[in-house]
Chains A and B, each alone.
Chain A
Amino acid sequence: KQEVTQIPAALSVPEGENLVLNCSFTDSAIYNLQWFRQDPGKGLTSLLLIQSSQREQTSGRLNASLDKSSGRSTLYIAASQPGDSATYLCAVLNYGGATNKLIFGTGTLLAVQP
């Protein structure tokens, strides 16, 4: 059974710092991995999608990497800003699953201090 873990559960950094969020998964037979951002009481916004054949994806100050063999993904945020404060969730989509179910980690709550 696929399990997704995100460490740390919470992170506080000063503005301008570069940071890395971690996501690990137990079953490497994934279709893709997606990083989301969730603001308090709000929906999920898709940040980056990495297909299983890809190693990384970039969007602005965000860079996500995927190492399927080790069951890990990282989300790198460069030059963090207070507006980056949110919960970051990773989710994997398994191969062959008839449900096409995203399996989520429990998230990392990021606070960027001005």
Chain B
Amino acid sequence: EVQLVESGGGLVKPGGSLRLSCAGAGFTFSRNSMNWVRQAPGKGLEWVSSISSSSIYIYYADSVKGRFTISRDNAKNSLYLQMNSLRAEDTAVYYCARVPTGWLGDAFDIWGQGTMVTVSS
């Protein structure tokens, strides 16, 4: 079964850091570009970051640029999001989502179940 499983969420104080992970299974992870999308409580979806299959192309939303870093380890079938200088407005469920191809210009066909990040003192 093709699936994505996120982990690493939790409660963190403003200014703190957190590292999210996303494990892929049931497909050849190294062939797919990947993304992080977040959803604040009761709000809509917000794209956060994308990384191509070989990590050559990386993009960030302006709201996280300079604070978040996306990376991947194809040998471990894993995607990561290092989040630094966290703010209250970063509080959200964070989803990882797959692109069915190795390049970034495609829809997100598989989503994980999400991991909750709460930034509060």
Is B a genuine binding partner of A?
A: no
Instruction: Point out residues on B near A: beta carbons under 8 Å.
Output: none
